[in-house]
């Protein structure tokens, strides 16, 4: 009878320790999942920006020279 009680108490203690560790692991997994979602969203947004040309450096516009038109010689 005494061994049965000790085994039940040991099983309960082991279960409590297992649940405590499982809770910590699940919290860590959820945080890792949230960070992963944010990173993937940022990468997707960067991909869309690259595809749309958001990151291209615009060259400064050179002033346009007026076009020279020659008149036909009048006779």
Overall domain count for the chain: 1
The pLDDT, as a whole number, for residue 73 is: 72
> What is the C-alpha separation between 1 and 4, in angstroms, rounded?
5
> What is the extent of the structural domain holding 44?
1-53
69 falls within a domain: no
Long-range (24+ apart) CB contacts under 8 A made by 37-43 are: none
Would you tell me how many other CB atoms lie within 10 Å of the CB of residue 54?
10
26 falls within a domain: yes
Whether pLDDT at 65 is above 90: no
Record the tokens describing residue 27, joined without a space.
């919290």
> What is the C-alpha separation between 49 and 47, in angstroms, rounded?
5
31 falls within a domain: yes
14-55 pLDDT per residue, tens: 999 999 999 999 999 999 999 999 999 999 999 999 999 888
Whether pLDDT at 74 is above 90: no
Band (60; pLDDT cuts 50, 70, 90) = low
49 falls within a domain: yes
> What is the C-alpha separation between 18 and 27, in angstroms, rounded?
14
61 falls within a domain: no
Cβ contact 49:55 at 8 Å: yes
């Amino acid at each position: 009878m005494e061994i049965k009680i000790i085994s039940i108490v040991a099983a309960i203690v082991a279960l409590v320790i297992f649940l405590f560790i499982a809770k910590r692991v699940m919290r860590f997994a959820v945080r890792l999942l949230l960070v992963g979602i944010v990173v993937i969203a940022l990468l997707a947004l960067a991909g869309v920006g690259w595809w749309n040309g958001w990151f291209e450096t615009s060259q400064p516009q050179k002033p346009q020279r007026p076009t020279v038109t020659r008149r036909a010689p009048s006779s």
